Amino acid sequence: MKELNFFVITDTHYFEHSLGCWGKEYENFMDFEQKCFAETAAINEAAFEYLANDKRADIVLIAGDLSFNGEKESHESFCKLLKKLKKSGKDIYVVTAGHDFNEHPFAFNETGRIEPEGVDFEDLYDYYKDYGYKDAIAFNKEHLSYVAELSKDVRLLVLCNDTKDGKGKAYDEDFLEWVEEQAKKAKEDGKMMIAMEHYPLLPGQPLFWLVGDAMQKNGKALATILADNDVHLIFTGHMHNQSVNVHITENNNKIYDVCTGSLIGCPAFMRLVTIKDERTVEIESIPVPEFEWDKGGKTGKQYLQDQFERMIRTMLTSMVNDPKRIMRKLRLGDNDTLAKVITFFGKAVNGWSVGKVAKMLCIKVDNSVKDIPFAELAIELVRSIFEGDQPFVEGTPKGDAVLELFNRLRPILNKISLKTTWGEPADLYEILKHTAGNYGISDNNCTLKLK
């Protein structure tokens, strides 16, 4: 087969600035927000200009959450960007997601929170028919899902878990049969098939096994159908993190889930994907380019990182003052024992150094990390979880310190009875260990062996 190159971006969250993104209530909202809001048009414009001028690939996949929150004017403005990118010679394939339709979108001005006009799910076809739907060789209008020919050798299966009846749904048997039918037809036709969906099939990081909204509902069934029918690669978004993970089915077939960070929030990346052959795929991460905005002398990367850390600092304060707010944010349920653990961590994080925490818990840490404020260590740890390739692994001073802490808390962790979203018992120590440090595939740049 001929080598195929394409770009992947996701979670563009385009917001039409004129709708309103300023005022006191806006600033309060941004205290707890990972992604940028006012800056989204500037970031998207810079990224689209980069893609238009980059000659390494003529295909762009966009994995959902195209608008900030379903504002009509945001869709209209974003479609103008898409049209311009298409005129540059790029073929564009999109999937919509939950942020793209909303009865009650919001914006902010000096009066507070306001409600601009939104769009319904049924409106999305007309906005995006020129970016995958209209030329599809198979189309499921109920789910806005389709099959497209990327080349004479490769087909793209685009899956949307929304319908007019709701968002983020589990796929029913009829739709799963449609998916299996498309995968089998690709195989019969001698085509390689890859997939794209907004929601991840696999958790970007092990901790996301416990977050109800972090993955596709009944994702195991979908992963099995895809992998067992020779679809070994899916591109996803939603969680705004960089990750590459693999699941092996009972029939010993692989599926890789490549999740890409949001275009408008740290970690802001695009992917360049090269399909070398049916067995080999190369993944390269490209930072979002510099964008026109008053960033106070900062680089774009630092500007987005500072917004991310603003959110984390707000969360750290809430760990002490309102731990269940964190649990609601992460959709961790209402577990009193977990709330107490979060409060304990919050008090330690917000007031102590790593050395003081170690002394209080009677654990040993390397001298090089003792004077680090525990809050700064926590911020670096959380940011690395989203950036991928987390460095807090065994054999490093910071990694050993974090693992000693988790180990000291293991008796408490063992009393917390939780299950993963696939219904399996959760070992919290192992989940935390492999969330803090990446011991597997590189989340940013890697070569995948599909078979």
CATH label of the domain that carries residue 147: 3.60.21.10
Cβ atoms 65, 197 nearer than 8 A = no
Buried b (16+ CB within 10 A) or exposed e, 360-395: eeeeebeeebbebebbebbbbbbbbbbbbbbebbee
CA 144 from centroid of its chain's CA atoms: 20
Q: Are residues 154 and 81 in the same domain?
A: yes
Cβ atoms 290, 300 nearer than 8 A = yes
Position 345 scores a pLDDT of: 77
Buried b (16+ CB within 10 A) or exposed e, 52-87: bebeebebbbbbbbbbbbbbbbbbebbbebbeebee
Position 199 scores a pLDDT of: 97
Query: In the predicted model, is pLDDT for residue 99 greater than 80?
Result: yes
Interval 409-418: pLDDT, tens = 899 888 888 8
Interval 416-447: pLDDT, tens = 888 898 989 999 999 999 999 999 999 999 99
Query: In the predicted model, is pLDDT for residue 344 greater than 90?
Result: no
Fill in the DSSP letter of residue 342. Answer: H
Q: Are residues 241 and 326 in the same domain?
A: no
Q: Are residues 11 and 147 in the same domain?
A: yes
Query: In the predicted model, is pLDDT for residue 348 greater than 90?
Result: no
Q: Are residues 259 and 364 in the same domain?
A: no
Q: Are residues 419 and 391 in the same domain?
A: yes
Query: In the predicted model, is pLDDT for residue 330 greater than 90?
Result: no
Interval 101-152: pLDDT, tens = 998 999 999 999 999 999 999 999 999 999 999 999 999 999 999 999 999 9
Position 318 scores a pLDDT of: 85
What global pTM score does this model have? Answer: 0.94
Q: Are residues 254 and 345 in the same domain?
A: no
Q: Are residues 257 and 384 in the same domain?
A: no
Q: Are residues 336 and 367 in the same domain?
A: yes
Q: Are residues 13 and 94 in the same domain?
A: yes
Q: How many domains does the chain have?
A: 2
Range of the domain at 354: 300-436
Which residues are CB-neighbours of 398 under 8 A, at least 6 positions away? 369, 377, 380, 391, 392
Query: Which token pair is 42?
Result: 């500037």
The pairing of strands 269-275 and 4-9 is: antiparallel
Q: What is the mean pLDDT of residues 364-375?
A: 95
Q: Are residues 213 and 326 in the same domain?
A: no
Position 324 scores a pLDDT of: 84
Interval 228-270: pLDDT, tens = 999 999 999 999 999 999 999 999 999 999 999 999 999 999 9
Q: Which CA distances in Å does 156 have to 85, 152, 292, 314? A: 20, 11, 34, 40
| Most confident region among 47-61, 333-347, 419-433 by mean pLDDT | 47-61
Counting every residue, how long is the chain? 451
Position 243 scores a pLDDT of: 98
Model confidence band, residue 390 (pLDDT cutoffs 50, 70, 90) = very high
Q: Are residues 318 and 277 in the same domain?
A: no
